[in-house]
Structure 1
Amino acid sequence: MRRDKLEKYLKKIDEVIERGPYKDTWDSLAFHKVPDWYRNAKLGIFIHWGVFSVPAFGNEWYPRWMYKKDTSEYRHHIETYGSLKEFGYKEFVPMFKAENYNPEEWVKLFKRAGAKFIMPVAEHHDGFQMYDSELSEWCAAKKGPCKDMMGMLKNEVEKNDLVFTASSHRIEHYWFMGGMRETESDIPEKLEYGDFYWPSYIEPFENYNQEQIQGFEVETLFMQDWLVRTCEIVDKYRPRIVYFDWWIQVEAAKPYLKKFIAYYYNRALEWGEEVTVNYKNDALMYQCGVRDIERGQLSDISPDYWQNDTSVAKNSWCFTENNDYKKPEEIISCLIDVVSKNGSLLLNVGPKADGTLPEKDIELLNALGEWMDINGEGIYETSFWKKSGEGPTVTEEGHFTDVLEHSFTSEDFRFTYKNGCIFAFSMKWPEDGVVRIKTFGKKSKNFKGVIRNVEVLGAPQGCEFQLCDEYLSVSAKGMNTTLPVGIKIIVD
Structure 2
Amino acid sequence: MSTANERIEWFVKARFGMFIHWGLYAIPARGEWVRSHEKLSIEDYQPFFEEFNPVNYNPKEWAALAKKAGMKYAVMTAKHHDGFCLFDSKLTDYKATNTPAGRDLIREYVEAFRNEGLKVGFYYSLLDWHHPDYPAYGDSFHPMRDNEAWKDKKHDFSRYIEYMHGQVRELLTNYGKIDIMWFDFSYGNMSGETWKATELVKMVRSLQPHIIIDDRLGGNIRSVNKEIYAGDFASPEQIIPPEGVVDEAGNPIPWEACITMNNHWGYAAADKDFKSPKQLIRALVECVSKGGNLLLNVGPNAKGEIPEESVEILTEIGKWMSKNGESIYGCGNAGLPKPEWGRYTKKGNKLYAHIFERGIGPIAIQGIKGKVKRARLLADGSEVNIQKPWNAHHYGDAIFINLRSSKLPDEIDTVVELELEE
TM score, norm. by length of structure 2: 0.83
Q: Which residue of 2 aligns with 1:228?
A: 166
In the alignment, residue 147 of structure 1 is paired with which amino acid? Answer: R
- CA separation in 2, counterparts of 1:198 and 1:433? 66
In the alignment, residue 197 of structure 2 is paired with which amino acid? Answer: L
- CA separation in 2, counterparts of 1:386 and 1:481? 25
Q: Structure 1 regions of 5+ residues with no counterpart?
A: 1-20, 23-29, 69-83, 177-194, 209-216, 392-410, 443-448
In the alignment, residue 255 of structure 2 is paired with which amino acid? Answer: W
In the alignment, residue 356 of structure 1 is paired with which amino acid? Answer: E
The question of whether the paired residues in 2 share the 8 Å contact of 1:249 and 1:282 is answered with no
> Which sits farther off after the overlay, 322-331 or 46-55?
322-331
2:214 counterpart of 1:278: yes
Q: Which residue of 2 aligns with 1:474?
A: 401
In the alignment, residue 330 of structure 1 is paired with which amino acid? Answer: Q
The question of whether the paired residues in 1 share the 8 Å contact of 2:324 and 2:378 is answered with yes
Query: Secondary structure in 2 aligned to 1:416?
Result: strand
- CA separation in 2, counterparts of 1:259 and 1:294? 26
The one of 458, 481, 487 equivalent to 2:379 is 458
Cα gap change, 1:242 to 1:377, in 2 (>3 Å):
same
The one of 38, 63, 66 equivalent to 2:38 is 66
- CA separation in 2, counterparts of 1:252 and 1:288? 13
In the alignment, residue 55 of structure 1 is paired with which amino acid? Answer: P
The question of whether the paired residues in 2 share the 8 Å contact of 1:422 and 1:489 is answered with yes
Q: Which residue of 1 aligns with 2:137?
A: 202
Q: Which residue of 1 aligns with 2:183?
A: 244
Q: Spell out the pairing of 1:176-195 with structure 2 (5 A cutoff).
A: 176=129
How far did 1:140 drift? 0.9
- CA separation in 2, counterparts of 1:420 and 1:95? 56
- For residues 262-301 of structure 1, what are the alpha-carbon distances to aligned partners after superposition, in whole Å with 9 as ceiling and x for unaligned? 11112223xxxx2210124853553642111111222224
Query: Secondary structure in 2 aligned to 1:100?
Result: coil
Q: Structure 2 regions of 5+ residues with no counterpart?
A: 144-154, 246-251
- CA separation in 2, counterparts of 1:366 and 1:198? 44
- CA separation in 2, counterparts of 1:281 and 1:156? 29
Q: Which residue of 1 aligns with 2:415?
A: 486
In the alignment, residue 201 of structure 1 is paired with which amino acid? Answer: A
How far did 1:251 drift? 5.4
2:379 counterpart of 1:423: no
Cα gap change, 1:47 to 1:460, in 2 (>3 Å):
same
The one of 249, 262, 267 equivalent to 2:202 is 262
Query: For the aligned residues, what is the CA RMSD?
Result: 2.8
The question of whether the paired residues in 1 share the 8 Å contact of 2:219 and 2:231 is answered with no
Q: Which residue of 2 aligns with 1:289?
A: 232
The question of whether the paired residues in 1 share the 8 Å contact of 2:133 and 2:156 is answered with no
Query: Secondary structure in 2 aligned to 1:293?
Result: coil
The one of 101, 104, 109 equivalent to 2:57 is 101
Query: Secondary structure in 2 aligned to 1:44?
Result: strand
Cα gap change, 1:99 to 1:481, in 2 (>3 Å):
same
Query: Secondary structure in 1 aligned to 2:186?
Result: helix
Count matched residues: 386
Q: Which residue of 1 aligns with 2:282?
A: 333
2:67 counterpart of 1:111: yes
- CA separation in 2, counterparts of 1:250 and 1:371? 45
How far did 1:473 drift? 1.7
The question of whether the paired residues in 1 share the 8 Å contact of 2:232 and 2:254 is answered with no
How far did 1:463 drift? 2.7
Query: Secondary structure in 2 aligned to 1:294?
Result: coil
How far did 1:481 drift? 3.9
The one of 28, 38, 43 equivalent to 1:55 is 28
Cα gap change, 1:461 to 1:379, in 2 (>3 Å):
closer
In the alignment, residue 35 of structure 1 is paired with which amino acid? Answer: I
Q: Which residue of 2 aligns with 1:318?
A: 266
- CA separation in 1, counterparts of 2:387 and 2:168? 56
How far did 1:438 drift? 3.0
- CA separation in 2, counterparts of 1:296 and 1:343? 12
2:97 counterpart of 1:120: no
- CA separation in 1, counterparts of 2:94 and 2:142? 29
2:304 counterpart of 1:347: no
Q: Which residue of 1 aligns with 2:335?
A: 386
The question of whether the paired residues in 1 share the 8 Å contact of 2:353 and 2:417 is answered with yes
Q: Structure 1: which 4+ aligned runs deviate by more than 6 Å?
A: none
